Amino acid sequence: MSLQYAHQRKEEGVELEGTLALEAPSKAFLTQLFTTHSNKTMFLAGLSIKSKKDSFEKKKGREIAVARIVPIVFTLDTIYQEGTKHLYHFYSNNFKIGRQTYHVRVTLTTVAESEQVKLIKMYLDTAISGSYL
């Protein structure tokens, strides 16, 4: 397992900018999660949020995200196949920074010929009370 990073930059419809550090699970773990029909799992993850008055710096965001790594419960939302790739969508409402709670969605991918799992996408938003999805 190794740390992987995803960055969210400000664009249309996206208010928050931030960086996620995630210890990606193994391909065998994701397969086991699918076969056991469990939809909740725990990953080591850290999150940094860019202040509105600061400029976005990937290096600084990564350093802060790594410093905040803790076990976070993620819920498996969907799994689908695109050619030889399998895409796994997870979400969590458990990221707390100060008094604010954040909702994070991540997409992990695996390729049939490889054992590597890659973090390819992250979406960040402020969490709302109750069920998000």
φ and ψ of 52, to 5 deg: -65, -25
Residue scoring higher pLDDT (24 or 112): 24
Average pLDDT, the chain: 84
What is the pLDDT at residue 131? 44
128 band by pLDDT with thresholds 50, 70 and 90: low
How many Å is the Cα radius of gyration of the chain?
15
Model pTM?
A: 0.83
What residue type is 51 in one-letter code?
S
How far, in Å, CA of 88 to CA of 108, rounded?
5
Output the pLDDT for position 107. Answer: 93
pLDDT per residue as tens digits for the range 48-81: 888 777 777 888 888 999 999 999 999 999 988 8
Q: Select from 23, 32, 38 the least CA-distant residue to 118.
A: 23
pLDDT of residue 13: 65
